[in-house]
Structure 1
Amino acid sequence: MRRECTEEERGLSFPCKLSVVVPCYNEEGNVSRLYDETLMVMRERGISFEVIFVDDGSTDGTMRQLEAIAGRAHSGVRVVELSRNFGKEAGIYAGLRNASGEYTVIMDGDMQQSPEVVLQMYDWLESHPEDDCVAAVQEKRREGAVISFFKRCFYSVINRAASVEFVAGASDFRMMRRNVVDAVLEVSDYYRFSKGIFSFVGFKTHYMPYEARPRGSGKTKWSFFGLIRYAIDGILGFSTAPLRITTWVGLVLSVLSFLYLVVVVVKKLIYGDPVQGYPTIVSLILLLGGLQLLALGVIGEYLGRTYMEVKHRPVYFQRRVIDSRDMKKTDSADAQSDENTEYNNRE
């Protein structure tokens, strides 16, 4: 599935300077405008680039729009159509596997991330060879107070629990050198959490503030509970803190239960006080039963992920790949064939 790099690509030269990876899901009204804007910005600067659109099982007309873009594109456009909806993380992974540029940038397909910011990232890497990656950090977020509160809580919790640092506000919108892309691709986890993977592989990263634009058309694909699930995936994927917390809670409860037992026995033997009755016993049973189920749930989450990882299932499947360069070659060959046929008829 991954396009193997030639010796030339692995050396000092690359097929293009910049690869733009755009995972898409039901972005029919945005992808064409995004491509046109990116094309205009890159042409003004004279940057050789390619765009890799990954259609993640869209149910609207996104794929038709991407086919049209590939058909009219003057620069390299590659459309990777996945066999079904595998999620944004799989879309990012598929895009990186198909990228071949010296630099690779990941953008959303909703028009909120401007190609002008991509140029700023590009200029930074060109002028700062000591940095390997530029990550965009959103300054002003267009979200409600509740979601903002939970996001702050998430970063606070995961930074205390994980062994790597998570920068608040840093998204998947980032530009990487080839060595960073190769390192990210080496992490072939089935349950992918790109923010954690970027932190895990390391490399020197510059964090660049930017302001997101309003969405071009359509609505966000992320629900509140979807974000909660995504946060849980991040915590479980890059920390064993939930298991440690479960262990400590069990230890504390065991000590408290033993002390309570000692107190009850002493009061009975010395003072003759009767043991507390039915309500106390029922309350303790319900409390301990609930904690046991919680602990089993945490352990089950880790076991379930381990079970899926050891299956070594692919992160995604490609239905087809459309490359504008191949389409141009086909058109040229057809045109040449028509010319030869016309010439032979004249003879």
Structure 2
Amino acid sequence: MPKLSVIIPCYFNEDNIPVTTNELVANEANFPAEVTFEYVFVNDGSGDDTLGALQRAQTQHPGRIRIVDLAGNVGSYNAIVAGIAHATGDCLAVITADLQDPPELMAQMYGHWQQGFKLVIGNRHDREETGLSESMAKVFHWLMKHLALRNIPDGGFDFVFFDRQVATEVLKLHERNSNVFYLMVWLGFAYVNIPYTRRKRRIGKSRWTLGKKVKLLADSLLSFSFVPIRAISVLGLGLGAAALLYGLYVIALKIARPDEPAGWTTLMVVLLFVSAFQMIALGVIGEYVWRGLDAARQRPLYVVNNVYEA
């Protein structure tokens, strides 16, 4: 009897929990009768009564819900790793607590898993959301596809269904400041991509701030791409060639017109441009160095405050 563990990271989702648990349990009817279910809710240091809502849901659905209560907020990706570590299923899925991703798609994902695929991706082919959030998401996933992982699907994803082997390999990596979903693709297993339309959030408001989005972009690029460092090298060589040509021009000008006054404005422009490049280069290198230091410390990705069994 195959067991499916559904991992749901939670952060300020007090109002979502009753609706989410009811929809997930109702979705079991779409699966074959032999499948058993486990729902691993990870409370990522929420400041509201998310934990209380989860405990009430656990009482209403006995034997199905496991709650992993983290000591502090560590971010959704580390919370997902915590959920993977506490899941016991033969296959696993990750879905958001606000159900912007359709739970009914998991039955189709399960069918592909039965056919032997280790990883099944729910790909955001379209969104009900519009405006700045949509534009930023498109830019982010375009950069990741063209600068880091060319084999990821267009449009991005954070709704996945995967085998226990994939879960084990992800846990072995102990990757910090990274993107757990891209790690699954990076492992190299063949995957199936299922496009769907991402729904608007109907309950509560998103805590996915601009600062968190910028950090995710930096973490994802620096974890899977050498392009930032390579860009510094290429730009440095270009500036060096331009400086050489400009130096030859200044020498020739001095020989041809020895009384010509020096160009202070040009000198300042060049100085400021080169200084700005040096600061940017130091910043990018510093990001890589900091991530190496953070990994060398070997601090835990999360600390579990308590686990409430089903």
Give the drift of 1:144.
Answer: 3.2
Whether the aligned pair in 2 keeps the contact of 1:82 and 1:319 (CA below 8 Å) is yes
How far off is 1:196 after superposition?
A: 2.1
Match of 2:177, SS state, is coil
Q: What percentage of residue pairs aligned between the two structures are identical?
A: 29
Q: 1:90 aligns with which of 75, 78, 103?
A: 78
Matches within 5 A, 1:33-72: 33-43=19-29, 45=31, 46=33, 47-72=35-60
Find 2:226's aligned residue among 224, 235, 240.
Answer: 240
Q: Does 1:114 align with 2:102?
A: yes
Once residues 298 and 128 of structure 2 are traced to their aligned partners in structure 1, the CA distance between those partners, rounded to angstroms, is: 38
1:230 aligns with 2:220: no
Question: How far 1:226 sits from its partner (Å)?
Answer: 2.5
Q: Would the alpha carbon gap of residues 273 and 75 (structure 1) be closer, same or farther in structure 2, given more than 3 Å must change?
A: farther
How much does 1:298 deviate? 0.5
The 2-side partners of 1:22 and 1:158 are apart by: 24
Using the alignment, how far apart are the partners of 2:261 and 2:164 within structure 1?
A: 70
Equivalent residue, structure 2, for 1:99: 87
Output the amino acid matched with 1:88: S
Conserved 8 A contact 1:25-1:57: yes
Deviates more, 1:271-280 or 1:185-194: 271-280
* Contact map agreement 1:264 1:275 (CA 8 A) in 2: no
- Residue type at the aligned position of 2:170: V
Contact 1:54–1:79, Cα closer than 8 Å, also in 2? yes
Paired residue for 1:76? 64
- The alpha carbon displacement at 1:163 in A equals 5.3
- What SS does the aligned partner of 1:26 have? coil
Cα-to-partner distance string for 1:295-338 (whole Å, 9 max, x where unaligned): 110111111111101001110000000002xxxxxxxxxxxxxx
Cα offset, 1:188, TM superposition: 0.8
Answer yes or no: is the 8 Å Cα contact 1:172–1:194 preserved in 2. Answer: no
**CA distance in 2: counterparts of 1:273 and 1:49, whole angstroms:** 86
**CA distance in 1: counterparts of 2:91 and 2:105, whole angstroms:** 14
Q: CA deviation at 1:167?
A: 1.8
Instruction: Tell whether the 8 Å contact from 1:81 to 1:318 is kept in structure 2 after alignment.
Output: yes
Identify if the C-alpha distance between structure 1 residues 41 and 158 changes in structure 2 by more than 3 Å, giving closer, same or farther.
closer
Q: Is 1:198 aligned to residue 181 of structure 2?
A: no
Q: Give the letter for the 2:49 counterpart.
A: G
Q: C-alpha deviations, 1:11-52, integer Å up to 9, x for none?
A: xx7xx5100100000111111221122112215643311000
> Would the alpha carbon gap of residues 298 and 99 (structure 1) be closer, same or farther in structure 2, given more than 3 Å must change?
same
CA contact (8 A) 2:141 2:156 kept: no
TM-superposed CA distance for 1:275, in Å, is 5.1
Q: Distance in 2 between matches of 1:198 and 1:192?
A: 11
- Given that 2:122 and 2:157 are in contact with CA atoms closer than 8 Å, whether structure 1 keeps it comes out as yes
Aligned counterpart, 2:203: 217
Question: Given the two structures, how large is their TM-score scaled by the length of structure 2?
Answer: 0.93
- What residue number does 2:10 align with? 24
Instruction: Spell out the pairing of 1:261-272 with structure 2 (5 A cutoff).
Output: 261-272=247-258
- What's 1:255 paired with? 241
1:158 corresponds in structure 2 to 144
1:304-319 alignment, distance < 5 Å: 304-319=290-305
* Structure-1 separation of matches of 2:94 and 2:139: 26
Number of residues of Structure 1 aligned to a counterpart in Structure 2: 308
Q: Which runs of 5+ in 2 are unaligned?
A: none
Shift in Å, 1:67: 1.2
Q: What amino acid maps onto 2:273 in structure 1?
A: L
CA distance in 1, matches of 2:139, 2:15: 34
Q: 1:138 to 1:80 in 2, by over 3 A?
A: same
- Greater shift in the superposed pair: 288-297 or 206-215: 206-215
Residue 49 of structure 1 contacts residue 75 of structure 1 at CA under 8 Å; is this kept in 2? no
Unaligned runs of 5+ in 1: 1-12, 325-347
User: Contact (CA 8 Å) 1:137, 1:207: kept in 2 or not?
Assistant: yes
Checking the alignment, whether the CA contact within 8 Å between 1:19 and 1:104 is kept in structure 2 is yes
Query: CA shift at 1:145, angstroms?
Result: 4.0
